[in-house]
Structure 1
Amino acid sequence: MLNLRAQAIALSLMISLGAADTAGLGLGEIDLIFPRNDTFAPMTITPIVFGIQNPTVIDGLYPTLSYGLWSADTPPNNQTHMTYLAEEHLPNKTGPVSFIIDSIANTLNTENEWRFVWKLRWTNCSTPANGTTSENGRGLVDTDEFSWRPYDVAHSVLFTTKKGANQLNLTTLNDKCDNTQATAFYTTKTLKAPPSNLWGEKCAVLKSPAPTPAPCKASIAPAAASSISSSLTAKYCMDPTPVISCPAKKGGASINGVGSYFSWCLMGALLVGKLFIWI
């Protein structure tokens, strides 16, 4: 009886451990939803939208996501400002898709051609038994039992703002989702990270070659688009002099956008407001 009970307990523990070990495994992907290579009407508020497929997988890569936005004719030596969106860990959510939302005000409200650059940095771990799973890494941490290597990839988008063009509608971007810039990953297992080497306890081991991205799976539904719009409106309406028209305050008239409190300066600081939307 005791042996049977012990076996049952051991089996239950194995099942629970097996379920826990699958967390953070499988396919994950980061997609640039907007900006997109197209022509849009000038906009006072420009959303910056990234889609994160299977966030628990991406979280194990210790990603750093950054971007820069300049006029297309800006000399390379002046393209110096990058804004960091996700450092160390993305939101630890179990949903299939989340969106990282940032925004820029009073920049794309004129006609121009723009260059948007974004850079993704991640880690890939390995042990001597399985070897590194990528070939282009630069070794950062190597011990007898553990290797941690960083990788990065940069993308660039050219787009135009022109009077008379279509207004930005995040849901209609789904019609051209196949052209979305994206990076996909497949985590085969996780390793216990040595103390102080990484921010968390586990590090992903990635399959090579990387899978083909499927950005259409991160399409924005009307409810998500509405949530993004509401979040950005609430963000800018908190300012004493909003750059947009805001809902009427209780006991007062509506606030009209005046001034340029959030104006963009290439060599100055960009106000970063990170918003996370889950579906």
Structure 2
Amino acid sequence: MAVFHFCWWLLLACSSSTMAADITFPQTIEVDLIFPHNDTYAPVPFMPFVIAIQNFRSTGMILLNLAYNFSAAANPGNPIFSNSKQFQSDDPDYFDKDDTGFVLSYASETNNVEKAWLFSWELEIANCTRSMEHPELNLVHVSRTSQRRQVYFTTKHGAQQPNLMAATQEGTCGNRSSSGYAINITEMIYNIPEGQYPNDGSECPVISDTPPTPNPCGVRMNNDTASQLLYSIDTEACFWSNDVSHCPLGTGGMSQESVSRRTVQLSASGLMWAVTMGWLIYMSTI
């Protein structure tokens, strides 16, 4: 069975209403694929996938949704993994002092396999425009804007090891501009009628039609941060893995009993996530 597990440690704790009150405009949010690049890497047991979101604390206002796909390059229509996540929280998988959130994931299908691969991601955001009908009611039109990015990479024995710190350094980071997307929030429309915006929000973002040029070099990672991210990925991967030979000490494989126990522990957060996603799906159909 294919093993590809995303680290969902996000907590649905903050609404856009509480965040927007302390934010001035315009605001720029940027989503960048930090790793991998269009390059060749050693076929490691757990290939890391790292996405950075600059100005992460502003993402709740635009109801940022990220969809991920991982597949063999020769068969992109049959993804090994496909999932999506709605961000409405200030708690990414890892958060640094520069207000950058990191989303962490991994694939084990690359282990000891020489092959070409494809990792793609698509972001979707909410955008509002003022309605000219009955301006006294402060009505808005809500639309969804999406952008897709992808990267091809290969695994080959003897190639370089994945290096997150090197991927963010000068001379390398600029090569990722095609794998990023920037969003400019020009203003918020306040006090909109109940039910106009998902989650009964009373504030609605206005997104510029001309996106800023991405600046992936705005994300810099030192050795300590890179090590923490890789350790988090390895620990999570090893928790679910049956092969613990490559795992950090104290982590690793799960018996059927521990799998069942972990499922029960995750049920509460999973229910909250499902309710949120259900509401968003419902809103998109009406």
Mark yes or no: TM-score above 0.5.
Answer: yes
Secondary structure at 1:232's aligned position in 2?
helix
CA contact under 8 A between 2:56 and 2:101: conserved in structure 1? yes
Question: 2:28 aligned with 1:32, yes or no?
Answer: no
Q: CA deviation at 1:89?
A: 1.6
Gaps of at least 5 residues in structure 2 are: 1-17, 255-286
1:96: Cα distance to partner? Answer: 2.1
1:169 corresponding residue in structure 2? 163
1:107 equivalent in alignment to 2:85: no
Structure 2 match to 1:117 = 120
For the 8 Å contact 1:66–1:83, the answer to whether it is kept is yes
| % identical equivalent positions | 29
Q: Residue 179 of structure 1 is aligned with which of 175, 198, 201?
A: 175
Contact 1:236 1:242 in 2 (8 A): no
Task: Name 1:87's counterpart in structure 2.
Answer: 86
Instruction: Provide, for residues 135-190 of structure 1, a one-character-per-residue CA deviation record: whole Å limited to 9, x for no partner.
Output: xxxxxxxx971111101111121111111111111111124111211110111211
8 Å CA contact 1:105, 1:243 repeated in 2 = no
1:54-73 equivalences in 2 (<5 Å): 54-73=55-74
Q: How far is 1:215 from its partner?
A: 0.7
1:194: how far off?
4.0
SS state of the match for residue 247, structure 2?
coil
Which residue of the partner structure matches residue 227 of structure 1? 228
Question: Helix, strand or coil for the counterpart of 1:56?
Answer: helix
- Please give the secondary structure, in 2, of the residue aligned with 1:216: helix
Shift of 1:36: 1.2
Contact 1:182 1:213 in 2 (8 A): yes
Aligned length: 221
C-alpha change, 1:161 and 1:188, in structure 2 (3 Å) is: same
Question: What displacement does 1:88 show?
Answer: 4.3
What is the CA-CA distance between 1:91 and the residue it aligns to? Answer: 2.6
Runs of 5+ unmatched residues, structure 1: 1-16, 130-142, 250-254, 259-279
How much does 1:240 deviate? 7.1
Corresponding residue of 1:191? 189
| Cα deviation code 1:60-86 (max 9, x no counterpart) | 11111011111111163x3485222x3
Q: Which residue of 1 aligns with 2:264?
A: none
Note if contact 2:234-2:248 (Cα within 8 Å) is conserved in structure 1: no
Distance of 1:127 and 1:40 partners within structure 2: 49
**1:153 lines up with 2:147 in the alignment:** yes
SS in 2 for 1:155: strand
Instruction: Look up the SS of the partner of 2:152 in the other structure.
Output: strand
| One-letter code aligned to 2:143 | R
Q: Distance in 2 between matches of 1:256 and 1:97?
A: 29
Give me the CA root mean square deviation: 2.9
For residue 238 of structure 1, report the CA deviation from its aligned partner: 2.9
Structure showing greater Rg = 1
Post-superposition shift, 1:123?
Answer: 1.0
Alpha-carbon distance change, 228 to 109 in structure 1, aligned in 2, over 3 angstroms: same
**Alpha-carbon distance between aligned partners in 2 of 1:116 and 1:222, rounded to the nearest angstrom:** 25
1:149 maps to amino acid: S
Q: C-alpha distance in 1, partners of 2:41/2:151? A: 14
Cα shift at 1:109: 3.2
